[in-house]
Structure 1
Amino acid sequence: MSADALPADALPPWRPLLRGAREREGLSPMARWLQLATVAPDGTPRVRTLVFRGWADGACLDLLTDGRSAKVTDLAAEAAVELCWLLPRARCQFRLRGQRLALPAEVERRERQRHWRQLTPAGRALWGWPPPGEPFEPAAAFPSELGDAEPVPESLVLLRCEIGQVELLELGAHPHRRRRWRATTGWHEEPLNP
């Protein structure tokens, strides 16, 4: 380990900044919403809003999605992602670049089960709806809740993203402030022009 590298169990220096910015959002759901950018198999970009589900470790975060959605196909073809977390009350934007990790089957099963249990019944209901992006069928069932006894549906997909680079753009001062951290440099802070 180089003199600048962090110990394996240390949080990257951008994590407390992100936590503080999220706390400034209070109870707003925006504190948990982030945008996921992927590349479709035809080479065109795609952006979706997902809900942050927690940290797997210092630089790996968890998101959940419906396996019947196009983003799963996108990530199967290209694991690279960029996440954008805009936190308006904190007047900042975090851009997290990395890749979706392929987990061992047993770890993925266990983590999917853990996340399923943490969802509210209303949150679980989304996985009981018809496939996203399909033509709307008025007679289709859209449950409002799925109870604790419901098994984890196959369509519940865990997206564990390992972050390799973070940029923080702070919009509060003049001029704006922009910083970057990269895993390859031991998360050393690099000031950038905004």
Structure 2
Amino acid sequence: MSRSFFLIVPPSLLMASLLSLPVMADPMKTDWGRVSMEGSITDTACAIDPGSLEQTIDMATLPIGQLVQNGVGDEHPFEIRLLDCTIVHPDPDKSNQQHFVVTFDGAADGNNFAVNGDAEGIAMQIIDDKGNASTPGVQSPEINIIPADMKLNYALRLVGNGKTLRAGTYHSSVRFKLDYY
């Protein structure tokens, strides 16, 4: 004779027994991690607008005759925009930063900037809005910080470098830095 047995377990007892299983398991294991951070606080009178940091200027096509006749090519303007300019230094023991100078730097060709490529007999010149030409690695004349108008206007142009002119493509790269005082 076979008998069947049924075990009737109330739902609350079943639930309590299932919830107690983790308590009977190994003690809880804790893992630790680490978050590192890095940054800087700068002490400058102005910030350079991100749109001014990396610029590409299309110099267009220049007829070699124009360079022979005029000695210079057309001007191609560009600007360096400054943001959040403050002329009052946060440390009262230090002088206010009311002036700055710009230094353009790159491969030199005399007092101008060298170009690379197939074209020969040319160099690139950078001039400011007052007509001052920049010399590679040499600071510009002092510029006053005027918080209302923080746009520095410059222009690029090709100039002859005294060598025989040869038509062709060219390119150049120039860096700039601002020093405040």
What interval of TM-score do these two structures reach, taking the shorter chain for normalisation? under 0.3
TM-score calculated relative to the size of structure 2? 0.24
Which structure exhibits the higher relative contact order, with contacts defined as CA atoms closer than 8 Å and separated by 6 or more residues? 2
Whichever of the two has the greater Rg, that structure is: 2
Q: Which has the higher helix share?
A: 1
Q: Which has the higher strand share?
A: 1
